[in-house]
């Protein structure tokens, strides 16, 4: 929520042209409609979001929720709400299937609740054929927008509510970055911060550049101002978000490196921990490694997607590094930051992948000693260059490789996890343990999870914990009394 007094906005005047003033005006207009509806039906109106995909989408949903709360909607905990939106992902085929699978239930809720407004947004809606499908097959969906105009939610909702009509507004691209709109953060003590939008890398399998547009960096001063504001609100950990944070700032009017941005964020008082996602190996600089090695706040965790261990496949993937270059990078990082946890993403079954190529991937997993890896089966995305490549790998071969990969990933992870047993480490307490309410769950700097005895008063605090036992993917510990 913001501190803006919407009552002071003259909603009888024409809409301002400038952003974010224009959206504030439409928030005020929507507030009037919602208030009237509340009086008529004798209860508050509610909203619910269903968010799929990556951190970018979750961050976008926080912004959308902030706008909805300023409009006067109250957050519900079920889809039986008055405004429901699906923020979609299209990175792999199964992401799309899941969305359409769930939409059916909404139709039934809407039949029972005439107030209900249903919206779809996010990456899937950037694809013309998906938009068309929603338009013609899912007629109960009222509002559709894309990734470039989430800031416009209030204006679109106003059009829908005032005209009682369906509203479709998807932009092909944008060069705008709208600052200073509301946001409803999920956690009080940690927050994601966008540092850039879009992607220019065009990895040959990936749809993200097509649905998120060209790379745009936010100005460092805007990012630092947001981080300062978050710190003043009690946030101790920030996660800097971008599809390829290592190329941050290159296209700004006054270019600046990601490493430099990190040093600026490091100076913000109150921020204790800094994380970032995602690092593309091709742009990871020595300057960044240097900054990580000397930083007191940057967490000892690097997510460094390798995608494949075969230099031949990496070339076809347009990743612009080789297996050797990647492993050298890993070595350099481990030497500079000894206790760092390295995690990765791997795709199995890219077109043309042979058993030999796959063996190279297994080799990288063993050599890089990942703490964990997200493993994906290659999914053909129409419009990407890889979709047209010959030798798509048969399903049974891919699945068999996938199972073998999982085994090797788990073996590597087992070796890494538990390395800190016996140490006393600082832990950011995140929540009450899901399985035992006399315990709390927190994270180490290296992103490992630890459970230990404690209560809700610890949530959001950074405390020393003795890591008593490793349980494979997590530790059991005890609050250190000596500090
Ligand atoms: N920008 C990040 C990745 C964003 S997508 C990066 O470059 O590392 C997250 C992950 O989804 C990717 O790392 C990749 O492993 C996986 N992915 C993307 N497209 C895919 C596809 N077509 N099939 C299977 N996995 C895919
Ligand atoms: Fe996709 Fe590659 Fe961009 Fe990551 S860097 S979002 S994998 S195109
Ligand atoms: Fe999915 Fe879009 Fe993220 S396609 S992975 S939600 S950028």
**pLDDT tens, position by position, 393-406:** 999 999 999 999 99
**Whether 36 and 119 share a structural domain:** yes
What local confidence, expressed as pLDDT, does residue 96 receive?
A: 86
**Whether 155 and 20 share a structural domain:** yes
What local confidence, expressed as pLDDT, does residue 483 receive?
A: 53
Region 180-186 average pLDDT:
88
Give CA separation, 61 vs 121, 244, 289, 309, 375, in Å.
10, 20, 32, 34, 25
**Whether 22 and 149 share a structural domain:** yes
Mean pLDDT, the chain, rounded, equals 95
What local confidence, expressed as pLDDT, does residue 415 receive?
A: 87
**Whether 201 and 93 share a structural domain:** no
**Whether 152 and 285 share a structural domain:** no
Residue 263 alpha carbon to ligand 2 centre in Å: 25
Final residue belonging to a domain, choices 298, 329, 354: 298
- Measured in whole angstroms, the distance separating CA 140 from the mean position of its chain's CA atoms is 28
**Whether 111 and 210 share a structural domain:** no
**Whether 34 and 70 share a structural domain:** yes
Q: At what angle do helices 153-163 and 21-41 cross, to 10 degrees?
A: 40
In a domain, 209, yes or no: yes
**Whether 139 and 197 share a structural domain:** no
CATH number at residue 289: 3.30.750.210
**Whether 21 and 151 share a structural domain:** yes
**Whether 95 and 198 share a structural domain:** no
What local confidence, expressed as pLDDT, does residue 95 receive?
A: 84
In a domain, 115, yes or no: yes
Tens of pLDDT, residues 292-302: 999 999 999 99
Question: Bridge-partner residues for 49, per DSSP?
Answer: 85
Final residue belonging to a domain, choices 244, 273, 298: 298
Contact 130, 124 (CB under 8 A): yes
89 annotated binding-site participant: yes
Final residue belonging to a domain, choices 133, 167, 201: 167
In a domain, 231, yes or no: yes
What local confidence, expressed as pLDDT, does residue 291 receive?
A: 98
CATH number at residue 433: 2.40.50.140
- Of 9-13, 92-96, 271-275, 315-319, give the lowest mean pLDDT range: 92-96
54 annotated binding-site participant: yes
In a domain, 460, yes or no: yes
Show the DSSP H helices in 5-152 as ranges.
21-41, 55-71, 93-112, 128-137
pTM: 0.95
**Whether 208 and 288 share a structural domain:** yes
Total domain count, the chain = 3
Domain residues for the domain of 452 are: 421-477
Residue 44 alpha carbon to ligand 3 centre in Å: 32
Assign 472 a pLDDT band (cuts: 50, 70, 90): confident
Tens of pLDDT, residues 373-397: 999 999 999 999 999 999 999 999 9
Residue identified by tokens 């101002």 is 225
Residue 245 alpha carbon to ligand 2 centre in Å: 11
In a domain, 90, yes or no: yes
Question: Does ligand 1 lie within 6 Å of residue 46's CB atom?
Answer: no
> Does 97 score more than 90 pLDDT?
no
In a domain, 67, yes or no: yes
In a domain, 391, yes or no: no
Nearest CA to ligand 1 atom 10: 345
What local confidence, expressed as pLDDT, does residue 1 receive?
A: 53
299 annotated binding-site participant: no
Nearest CA to ligand 1 atom 2: 243
121 annotated binding-site participant: no
Residue 290 alpha carbon to ligand 2 centre in Å: 25
In a domain, 211, yes or no: yes
**Whether 83 and 192 share a structural domain:** no
Region 405-410 average pLDDT:
96
What local confidence, expressed as pLDDT, does residue 41 receive?
A: 94
Contact 182, 70 (CB under 8 A): yes
CATH number at residue 35: 3.40.50.2300
Tell me 417's DSSP state: T
Region 209-214 average pLDDT:
96
């Amino acid at each position: 929520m913001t501190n803006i007094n919407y009552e002071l906005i003259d909603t009888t005047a024409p809409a301002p042209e400038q952003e974010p003033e224009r959206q504030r005006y439409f928030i005020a207009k929507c507030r009037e409609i919602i208030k009237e509806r509340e009086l008529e039906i004798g209860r508050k109106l509610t909203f619910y979001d269903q968010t799929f995909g990556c951190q970018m989408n979750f961050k976008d949903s926080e912004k959308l929720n902030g706008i909805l709360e300023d409009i006067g909607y109250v957050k519900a905990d079920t889809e039986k709400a008055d405004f429901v939106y699906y923020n979609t992902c299209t990175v792999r085929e199964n992401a799309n299937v899941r969305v359409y699978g769930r939409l059916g239930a909404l139709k039934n809720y809407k039949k029972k609740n005439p107030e209900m407004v249903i919206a779809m947004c996010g990456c899937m809606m950037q694809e013309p054929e998906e938009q068309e499908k929603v338009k013609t097959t899912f007629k109960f969906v009222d509002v559709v927008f894309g990734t470039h105009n989430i800031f416009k939610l209030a204006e679109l909702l106003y059009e829908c509510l005032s005209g009682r009509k369906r509203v479709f507004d998807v932009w092909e691209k944008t060069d705008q970055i709208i600052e200073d709109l509301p946001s409803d953060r999920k956690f009080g003590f940690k927050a994601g911060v966008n540092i850039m939008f879009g992607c220019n890398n065009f990895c040959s399998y990936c749809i993200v550049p097509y649905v998120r547009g060209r790379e745009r960096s936010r100005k460092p001063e805007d990012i630092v101002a947001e981080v300062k504001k978050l710190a003043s609100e009690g946030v101790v950990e920030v996660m800097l978000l971008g599809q390829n944070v290592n190329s941050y700032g290159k296209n700004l009017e006054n270019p600046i490196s990601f490493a430099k941005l990190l040093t600026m964020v490091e100076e913000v008082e109150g921020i204790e921990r800094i994380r970032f996602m995602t690092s593309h190996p091709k742009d990871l600089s020595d300057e960044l490694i240097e900054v990580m090695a000397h930083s007191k706040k940057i967490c000892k965790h690097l997510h460094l997607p390798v995608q494949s261990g075969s230099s031949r496949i990496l070339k076809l993937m347009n990743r612009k590094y080789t297996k050797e270059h990647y492993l050298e990078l890993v070595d350099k990082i481990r030497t500079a930051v000894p206790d760092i946890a390295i995690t990765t993403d791997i795709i199995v079954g890219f077109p043309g992948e042979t058993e030999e190529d796959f063996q190279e991937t297994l080799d990288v997993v063993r050599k890089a000693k990942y703490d964990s890896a997200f493993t994906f089966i290659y999914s053909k995305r129409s419009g990407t260059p890889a979709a047209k490549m010959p030798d798509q790998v048969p399903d049974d071969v891919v699945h068999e490789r996938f199972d073998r990969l999982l085994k090797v990933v788990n073996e590597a992870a087992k070796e890494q996890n538990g390395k800190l047993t016996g140490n006393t480490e600082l832990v950011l307490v995140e929540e009450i343990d899901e399985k035992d309410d006399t315990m709390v769950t927190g994270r180490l700097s290296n992103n490992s999870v630890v459970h230990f005895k404690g209560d809700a008063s610890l949530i959001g605090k950074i405390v020393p914990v003795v890591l008593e036992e490793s349980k494979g993917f997590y530790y059991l510990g005890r609050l250190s009394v000596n500090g």
